[in-house]
Amino acid sequence: MSGGKGGSQTTQATIPDWAKEPTVRNLQRAEDLQKVGYMPYYGADVAGFSPMEQQAMQNTMNQASAFGLAQPGANAMAGMPQTQMYDIGGGQQIAGYSAGNLYDQALAETQARNPEFAQRYDELFKG
Amino acid sequence: MAGAGNVQTQQPFNVNTASAQGLQGAMGGTAMGMAYNPQQVQAGQLANTNLQQYQNPYTQQVIDAQAQDVLRNAQLGLNQLGTQAQKAGAFGGSRHGVAMGEIGRGVAQTLGQQSAQLRQAGFQNAQQMAQQDIASRMQADLANQQSGLSGAQMRLGASAQMGDLANLGFGMGQTINQNMMQQGAMQRALNQQLIDVAQQRYAERMGLPQQTIGYVSQALGASPIPQSQTTTKQPGLFDYLTLGTTAYGYSQSDIRLKKDLEKVGKLKNGLNIYKWKWIEGAEKLGTKVNLKMTMGVIAQEVQKLKPEAVAVDANGYLMVDYGAI
């Protein structure tokens, strides 16, 4: 539409009475939740190599040894971190790795390098 | 009977070891083949051959025996000549002496000829035997040379076959190993899926309070913060002009139905805004006459600037579509 329009408009938002109580309660709960902070996951993150994979790698190493490209009896998994066993129920376990310790180290490193920043950050979650 | 203690443990077949050893053997065999020198064959020479070994060791004995025969016959001839000379009373005479001398000369000549013939025959025989030996040795040397070449070629062929087998074994080992790696990766992927599901459930558990907050918000209304909205508006000139027209589309605006026109403003497109009063019975003369609408444009002016916004009613009066101007 062309032409001059003019005029003004204001909007006022109001919470209905019936919604006031649950809304306030919900906000309070959100604030409580905010104080909880971050709860790290310390379970398994990465599955370890399966026995068949390890055997295949050892075969490759043996092949290299047979052709004179590696020391005889060399271990294909040498240098790899040892897996942890995690129960999956029924007496069964799977081998895997957790990044929990790496996370803790990284967090501690951050706190050591930037203690003020870390403190201010942590205070965001305090009541 | 072999007991358990006598069972010899045999190393299980290892395709990697077999391939490597086969390759090594093939390379060694090929290297030997490359370094192979065939047996040298040289022709024997009669001139360099000691013929003595081919001589009849009994040649002298044969000569001696023949000489004894000749001498015995010569003695018989001398005896006979002596007897004849005695009978003729000429024994010991000159004729007897000449005859004896003739016999002696014949004996000597015969002995010499026979000895020479026997020695010549012996030499020729020795020479012939030596030549046969030289030829036989040459033939044997050539046969040995050929068998050596054949053996070398056979070894080269065996080396090549060993190399092929080693390569085949290597390829088989590689294929099996790749299959193992793939299947092992599938197993690991299954474990990883379990871990991922566990992580997801952990995240769901940790996020549950936050999620319940959302549930309450959703229950309170479509928007996270429920609100009612009150809108107040101070209308502008154009809002006023279009007020009440949008529901009808066209509005009556013919100048012939208006009176007491007073220009009160101007739109940006140049159209004038007027206040007016409707003439008596305007609502009966024209269609879509809104008696409460006493401000706006004049249809005749709109027709000049925006004819598409003007329409003619059943009685020939001009109406204006305010939405089109």
Q: Is the model's pLDDT at A12 over the cut of 80?
A: no
* Between residues B237 and A20, the one the model is more confident about: A20
Q: Is the model's pLDDT at B243 over the cut of 60?
A: no
* Between residues B86 and B322, the one the model is more confident about: B86
* Between residues B204 and B323, the one the model is more confident about: B204
**Distance from C-alpha of B159 to C-alpha of B30, rounded to nearest angstrom:** 6
Task: Name the least confident of A14-18, B30-34, B265-269.
Answer: A14-18
> Which CB contacts under 8 angstroms, 24+ apart, belong to B232-236?
B232/A9, B232/A10, B232/A12, B233/A7, B233/A8, B233/A9, B234/A7, B234/A8, B234/A9, B235/A7, B236/A4, B236/A5, B236/A6, B236/A7
Q: Which of B172, B176, B180 to mutate to test the interface with A (most CBs of A within 10 A)?
A: B180
Residue-level pLDDT at B2: 40
| Interface touch A22/B14, C-beta < 8 Å | no
Task: Name the least confident of B191-200, B227-236, B315-324.
Answer: B227-236
Q: Is the model's pLDDT at A93 over the cut of 90?
A: yes
B291 touches chain A (CB under 8 A): no
Contact residues, chain A, for B267 at CB < 8 Å: 2-4
Helix (H) or strand (E) holding B234: strand B228-234
Residue range B161-170: mean pLDDT, rounded:
96
A-to-B residue pairs, Cβ atoms closer than 8 angstroms = 161
Q: Between B188, B209, B226, which is nearest A15 by CB?
A: B226
Other Cβ atoms closer than 10 A to B310: 22
Contact residues, chain B, for A99 at CB < 8 Å: none
3-state secondary structure of B253: coil
Residue-level pLDDT at B232: 62
Contacts of B276 (CB under 8 A, 6+ apart): B258, B259, B260, B261, B262, B294, B295
Q: Is the model's pLDDT at B249 over the cut of 80?
A: no
| Interface touch B213/A29, C-beta < 8 Å | yes
Q: What ipTM goes with this model?
A: 0.82
Task: Give helix B94-220 / helix B59-87 axis angle, nearest 10°.
Answer: 170
Q: How far is B140 from chain A (nearest CA, A)?
A: 44
Q: Between B14, B228, B325, which is nearest A14 by CB?
A: B228
Instruction: Give B258's strand partners.
Output: B278
Residue-level pLDDT at B236: 59
Q: Is the model's pLDDT at B242 over the cut of 70?
A: no
Q: Between A6, A33, A96, which is nearest B191 by CB?
A: A96
* CB hemisphere CA count around A79 (13 angstroms): 3
Residue-level pLDDT at B211: 85
Residue range A14-34: mean pLDDT, rounded:
81
| Interface touch A50/B191, C-beta < 8 Å | yes
B10 touches chain A (CB under 8 A): no
Q: Between A7, A47, A66, which is nearest B239 by CB?
A: A7
> Which CB contacts under 8 angstroms, 24+ apart, belong to B10-18?
B14/A62, B14/A66, B15/B169, B15/B170, B15/B172, B15/B173, B15/B176, B16/A59, B16/A62, B16/A63, B16/A66, B16/A67, B16/B170, B16/B173, B17/A66, B18/B166, B18/B169
Q: Between A30, A86, A88, which is nearest B213 by CB?
A: A30
* Residue B233 confidence class, pLDDT cut points 50, 70, 90: low
Which of B73, B57, B80, B58 shows the shortest CA–CA distance to B111? B73
Q: Is the model's pLDDT at B84 over the cut of 80?
A: yes
| Interface touch B181/A53, C-beta < 8 Å | yes
Residue-level pLDDT at B239: 61
pLDDT in tens, B40-73: 999 999 998 999 999 999 989 999 999 999 999 9
Average per-residue pLDDT for chain B = 87
Q: Is the model's pLDDT at A2 over the cut of 50?
A: no
| Interface touch B227/A13, C-beta < 8 Å | yes
Residue-level pLDDT at B325: 79
Scanning every residue of chain B, which has its alpha carbon at the shortest distance from the alpha carbon of A63?
B16
Q: Is the model's pLDDT at B7 over the cut of 60?
A: no
Give the rounded percent of residues in chain B with a pLDDT score beyond 90: 61
* Residue B247 confidence class, pLDDT cut points 50, 70, 90: very low
| Interface touch A50/B187, C-beta < 8 Å | yes
Contact residues, chain A, for B216 at CB < 8 Å: 22, 25-26, 29
Both structure tokens of B324: 């089109």
Residue range A50-59: mean pLDDT, rounded:
96
B315 touches chain A (CB under 8 A): no
Residues in chain B: 325
Q: Between B191, B216, B228, which is nearest A16 by CB?
A: B228
Strand ranges across the sheet with A84-89: A46-47, A92-97, A84-89
| Interface touch B230/A9, C-beta < 8 Å | no
SS (H, E, C) chain A: CCCCCCCEEEEEEECCHHHHHHHHHHHHHHHHHHHHCCCCCCCCCEECCCHHHHHHHHHHHHHHHHCCCCCCCCCCCCCCCCCEEEEEECCEEEEEECCHHHHHHHHHHHHHHCHHHHHHHHHCCCC
- Integer CA distances (angstroms), B213 to A30, A39, B111, in order: 7, 18, 150
Give the rounded percent of residues in chain B with a pLDDT score beyond 70: 88
* Residue A124 confidence class, pLDDT cut points 50, 70, 90: confident
* Between residues A4 and B313, the one the model is more confident about: B313
* Residue B12 confidence class, pLDDT cut points 50, 70, 90: confident
pLDDT in tens, B17-39: 999 999 999 999 999 999 999 99
Q: Is the model's pLDDT at B146 over the cut of 80?
A: yes
